[in-house]
Amino acid sequence: MYKFVENKIWKTTQHTFKILLNLLSKYYFILIGLYFLQKTLHLVQYPSISLTSKIYLGMLALMCFTVYSDIRNDIKLIPFLILCIPFFAFIFYIEQHGYAFWGKMLHWQISRKIVVDLNPIFSKIPFNDGSFARIYKTETLTWFFRMVYNNGFVLPVLLAVYRSTLAKDFKKMLRYILSAHVVQIFLITPFYLIFHLQEVWFVLGQPDGLDRHLSPSAAAGVALNCFPSMHTSICFAMFLLVLRERNKIWKCVFGFFCLSVIFATLYLEVHWVIDVFAGMLLAYLTVKLVDFILAKGKVLVQKPLDMFYYKKKKAIYVSNYYLETMKN
């Protein structure tokens, strides 16, 4: 009798644990979202904490609550997590050493003879200074566009990658990171080495829209490399890719953020109109190039993916037809 009760308790415990594990595997994103929402509401109580930090945590919460329709249920969790290890190690490496690499490139660039100076050319083109973007200008708008611009080089990519990770979509993670800095840096560097173009405010002798309090010598160095606008190319690439997501709320919010960064480059007199259009073209070509690379790459690794990454298909016989369904 005692052994029977003990077995019953053990089976009940196993069954309960299995149910909880199944619920966790299906609704883990809600728990993560609630955590970020709680952190956001907690920080709201402290005026000393920057509004940027609160908005960032709020975006993370929204990212979690809108991911359900994009979650992949046809992949195995363990192989996915194994692939995430080198992926995020690479991102961490870029975060730690990327700016040092960029600084070396700028140093080398400054030491070379300028091939084409675009400053006098761009400054004479009508409406190229983006003055139409500043017809209506307020302190609130200036604060907003400074915030999105200062966070618009890295944050859009990280948010997109984090959300794709929650969706358990490694291919999407690769597509976002490749379409951003990884591929663009190689495509855009030749332009920066050949063309010399500085920010609108610096060339026209206006106050710095970003209010960076730069000395004249520092400003001359910082305001380099405008053609094409990499803020624009990064954010427009993310915008093109977010249009492929299923959740409409995330599309609207994240898309608005990306487009706001692009508009901020004009509003703050950082980039010329031609820079922005060139950046958008670069983004489009990069996304198409990455699509091509991933399509070709998938053909090469399709067999091991089917064996180790994707869940096995199960055939079901219904009304004289075989239907292939995925085991969740």
- Of the residues 44, 65, 86, which one is the last residue of a structural domain? 65
Tens-digit pLDDT profile for residues 40-79: 999 988 888 888 999 999 999 999 999 999 999 888 889 9
The answer to whether residues 56 and 153 belong to one domain is no
Q: Which domain holds residue 5?
A: 1-65
Sorted by sequence, the CB contacts under 8 Å of residue 168 that are 6+ apart come out as 71, 72, 75, 77, 80
Domain assignment of residue 190, yes or no: yes
pLDDT band at 3 (very low <50, low <70, confident <90, very high): low
Q: Are residues 49 and 139 in the same domain?
A: no
pLDDT digits (tens, 9 = 90+) for 12-38: 666 666 666 666 678 899 999 999 999
| 125 shares a domain with 33 | no
**Total domains in the fold of the chain:** 2
Residues 118 and 251 in one domain: yes
Q: Is residue 76 included in any domain, yes or no? A: no
User: DSSP state, 210?
Assistant: T
- Average pLDDT over the chain, rounded to an integer: 87
**The pLDDT of residue 162 is above 90:** yes
Per-residue pLDDT at 4: 58
At 228-240, the pLDDT tens digits run 999 999 999 999 9
203 is a domain residue: yes
Compute the distance between CA of residue 268 and CA of residue 275 in angstroms, rounded to an integer: 14
Note whether residue 71 is domain-resident: no
d(CA 280, CA 234): 9
pLDDT reported for residue 10: 63
If you compute the radius of gyration of the chain from its CA atoms, what whole number of angstroms results? 25
What pLDDT, in 10s, does the model give residues 169-186? 999 999 999 999 999 988
pLDDT of residue 81: 92
E strands, 45-185, are 116-117
For residue 120, say if its preceding peptide bond is cis, omega within 30 degrees of 0. no
Cα–Cα distance list, 281 to 157, 196, 230, 233, 234 (Å)? 18, 19, 11, 8, 11
Residue found by looking up tokens 């993310």 in the block: 238
Is residue 301, in this structure, part of any structural domain at all? no
The answer to the question of residue 269 being in a domain is yes
CATH of the domain at 276: 1.20.144
* 195 lies in the same domain as 58: no
Same domain, 110 and 42: no
Q: Do 247 and 191 have their domain in common?
A: yes
Is the domain of 47 the same as that of 127? no
Specify if 89 maps to a domain: no
Mean pLDDT to the nearest integer, 186-211:
91
- 234-271: string of b/e by CB count within 10 Å (b at 16+)? bbbbbbbbbeebebeebbebbbebbebbbbbbbbbbbb
User: Does residue 274 belong to any structural domain of this protein?
Assistant: yes
Alpha-carbon torsion, ordered 258, 261, 262, 268, to 10 deg: 170
Output the pLDDT for position 327. Answer: 40
| 110, 207: one domain | yes
Both 12 and 159 in one domain: the answer is no
